[in-house]
Structure 1
Amino acid sequence: MSVPATTVTPPLVDELDIVIPTIRNLDFLEQWRAFFQPYHLIIVQDGDPTKTIRVPEGFDYELYNRNDINRILGPKASCISFKDSACRCFGFLVSKKKYIFTIDDDCFVAKDPSGQEINALAQHIHNLLTPSTPFFFNTLYDPYREGADFVRGYPFSLREGVTTAISHGLWLNIPDYDAPTQLVKPLERNSRYVDAVLTIPKGTLFPMCGMNLGFHRELIGPAMYFGLMGDGQPIGRYDDMWAGWCAKVICDHLGLGVKTGLPYIWHSKASNPFVNLKKEYKGIYWQEDIIPFFQNVVLPKECTTPQKCYVELSKLVKEKLSPIDPYFEKLAGEMVIWIDAWNELNPDGTDAASVKKAEVVAPKKK
């Protein structure tokens, strides 16, 4: 008597969107097919909106270009960057799912030291569905992993942990370096696989990379604005770091957790360090003031939602950072516009999936 095969439903298949910014055909999805195909993709096409982007057969997706962004957001479209991977946050805006995983199109499936392919999405989901411990550091890394626990001396009152809002993954092969480091280490490749996940402590900032990132959209989505970068702006390649700094101080304020470590992806393409330096040089200079600013941010207790926190943060950006450069006054204004757009497309107390349905339908859908 034969036993019928059972199909295992992937985790969060109806609760998670995969957001991909791109300017090219998405052939890289073929390598991810076994892991991504059950999920819905939101593709944000940057650059020329008349260019046709090819998506491999069999994927469920929406594809938005700049014309769609302008149509859906109208005047508020000014907050979405152009010719920069920061355009990905438009996908965060129009998603109606609880969780987001975002990945760049030059990232491929990595292998662990045993040669097993790494399901990066499954590891991000695991990170997001297990608590974080931002208030007391556990020296045995993530105590919620199999085979680990809280070490001696860890307060029992803190062992319940807090909800994880952000899961930050890492990269094998091409490290995520800035242009000066690329220039002095042009041949360096990361082959070190560290089998660890840890919580970034409260009060500690980190440089967030957007190429391998998961987050709880309902809890921290409004803070995951990748800023105003790229075309027409004096800075680029700081979009994900800006979102990370903003989101981290808001997570700290709201009592949410941020994890970093596993999963790894294979980052295949080293970008041109001279092009990167042109984009980064003001950011490299400005960050010496930006980081102390975020280290000293105190949000009022009345800020009980990520939207309220982000609007308050925009006021502080305008007050404290605009003396450095007028760009920050413009950025602060777009931060408010971003929240206005978020609230318009994601109103509280209604069926979010049906709101603005006519306007937020992509013209190209599989």
Structure 2
Amino acid sequence: MTDTCVVVPTIREWECVRDYVANAREYGHLDRLFFVLVTEDFCDTDGMREMLEEEGVEGRVFDGEAREQWYEARGIEEYGDLIPAASHAETSFGLLYLWAHERFDFGVFIDDDTLPHDTDYFGQHYRNLEHTGETLAVESDERWVNVLYRNVEEHGLYPRGYPYSAMDEEVGETTEQVDHVVASQGLWTNVPDLDAVRILMDGDLQGQAQTRTTREDYGEDFVAATGNYLTVCSMNLAFRREVVPAFYQLPMDDNPWDVGRFDDIWSGVFLKRAADLMGHHVYNGTPLCEHNKAPRSTFGDLNNEVPALELNEHVWHIADDAGEDAESYAEAFGAMADALVADDTDYINDEFLTFVGEHMNRWLNCLDAIETGEPLAEPTPADD
């Protein structure tokens, strides 16, 4: 039974899907997967469809025009601006597609510059989401967990989005009883997921890193302890349907402040806060993927990150004070959205927080509109 929507945002190396399909076929999961490729009008959508057909997998390809048709067919055109074009945040369209089809119990985000290792990729994510029992829990005195903490004394790496004010933390390992995992974050070998400042400090001008990660940099899988935050990167991530209301990939790139590169980071902060409120967990570690980030200007990434660097130091505090009485992921997300809109602290580009909060509330309205609409037959690929 097809119960998993695999979302791949791509304008470049979409052939990586073949490797993930081969992995799923080898380990017996292919019949559970439906692939949604989110792309743009200038890309080879015909080639993408042919690939899915050649591989014998269910799936759809959505460029900009196809997304507009989908919004119109479901009567949600007014929410089309929630998904910025030509932005990594367009993974949110995959969340809308998943939400509109009740057969999907799970979602998986895969970036097009990754490849699976020679292990049971999808099976490990499924096992993580079903994991229960006493589990290694990592915490720190800064209430932030570096997902690369294992070998940090050797490589000194902190992942993209980790607050600078939370560095040099005292790390502690304990255990927590895990009863319900809502997200499984697989980590990465080869090019680490760093922000531009840290890439520059590592001496790389091509948007990658001189320091690389290997399997040996990771040990036992873990959860971030309750009350602690962590960076959540969407390049290798599985999640349950229930978190979609609190997992909107935030509106980056196409905004008046030119803020980019924090879509999955801030959505991860909000997801972790909501999961804590619900008594649930985010699981981290395996399955690893190989991250083969293409060379690009580090300063280009820096230009996208700088407008929100100060906000990133504080946004988690706003989330941390919101939603105490929430009884669902939607209520928790709505409370955090309202807190962002109401925040009157003076930060650089603080108007962007209001912008984000308003979009978060509209995200919840959009999901309600989809949920209450009549089931629709999907357009055929030829109509895309």
The normalised TM-score by structure 2 is 0.76
Measure, in 2, the Cα distance between the counterparts of 1:14 and 1:321. 46
Partner AA of 1:177 in structure 2: L
| Paired-residue identity, % | 22
Query: In 2, are the aligned partners of 1:132 and 1:199 still within 8 Å (CA)?
Result: no
1:204 aligns with 2:228: yes
Measure, in 1, the Cα distance between the counterparts of 2:313 and 2:45. 41
Query: In 2, are the aligned partners of 1:222 and 1:339 still within 8 Å (CA)?
Result: yes
Distance 1:135 1:104, change over 3 A: closer
Distance 1:251 1:321, change over 3 A: farther
Which protein has the bigger helix share? Answer: 2
In structure 2, what is the equivalent of residue 286 of structure 1?
311
Distance 1:135 1:119, change over 3 A: closer
Query: In 2, are the aligned partners of 1:124 and 1:263 still within 8 Å (CA)?
Result: yes
**Counterparts of 1:45-84 in structure 2 under 5 Å?**
45=39, 47-48=40-41, 52=45, 54-55=47-48, 56=51, 57-58=54-55, 59-71=57-69, 72=71, 73-84=76-87
In structure 2, what is the equivalent of residue 6 of structure 1?
none
Query: In 2, are the aligned partners of 1:166 and 1:259 still within 8 Å (CA)?
Result: yes
1:40 pairs with 21, 31, 34, which one? 34
Distance 1:363 1:75, change over 3 A: farther
In structure 1, what is the equivalent of residue 107 of structure 2?
100
Measure, in 2, the Cα distance between the counterparts of 1:321 and 1:364. 49
Partner AA of 1:61 in structure 2: G
Distance 1:136 1:22, change over 3 A: closer
**Counterparts of 1:185-334 in structure 2 under 5 Å?**
185=202, 186=204, 187-193=210-216, 194-217=218-241, 219-233=242-256, 234-272=258-296, 273-294=298-319, 296-301=320-325, 303-320=326-343, 323-324=346-347, 325-334=350-359
Partner SS for 2:234: coil
Distance 1:356 1:330, change over 3 A: farther
Cα deviations by residue, 1:284-314 (Å, 9 ceiling, x for unpaired): 22212223323x323142x212112211211
Moved more, 200-209 or 53-62: 53-62
Q: Which runs of 5+ in 1 are unaligned?
A: 1-12, 111-116, 139-153
Query: In 2, are the aligned partners of 1:179 and 1:274 still within 8 Å (CA)?
Result: yes
The normalised TM-score by structure 1 is 0.80
Query: In 1, are the aligned partners of 2:334 and 2:360 still within 8 Å (CA)?
Result: yes
Measure, in 1, the Cα distance between the counterparts of 2:68 and 2:215. 43
Measure, in 2, the Cα distance between the counterparts of 1:50 and 1:106. 16
1:31 pairs with 7, 19, 39, which one? 19
Cα deviations by residue, 1:133-182 (Å, 9 ceiling, x for unpaired): 689779xxxxxxxxxxxxxxx99xx75x3210011110000000000111
1:19 aligns with 2:7: yes
Distance 1:335 1:49, change over 3 A: farther
Q: What is the RMSD of the two structures over their aligned residues, measured on CA atoms?
A: 2.6
Partner AA of 1:225 in structure 2: Y
Distance 1:285 1:49, change over 3 A: same
Measure, in 2, the Cα distance between the counterparts of 1:211 and 1:364. 29
Query: In 1, are the aligned partners of 2:318 and 2:336 still within 8 Å (CA)?
Result: no
Distance 1:192 1:25, change over 3 A: closer
How many residue pairs were aligned?
A: 319
Distance 1:342 1:184, change over 3 A: same
Q: Which runs of 5+ in 2 are unaligned?
A: 140-173, 205-209
In structure 1, what is the equivalent of residue 93 of structure 2?
90
1:362 shift after superposition: 6.1
Measure, in 2, the Cα distance between the counterparts of 1:333 and 1:362. 34
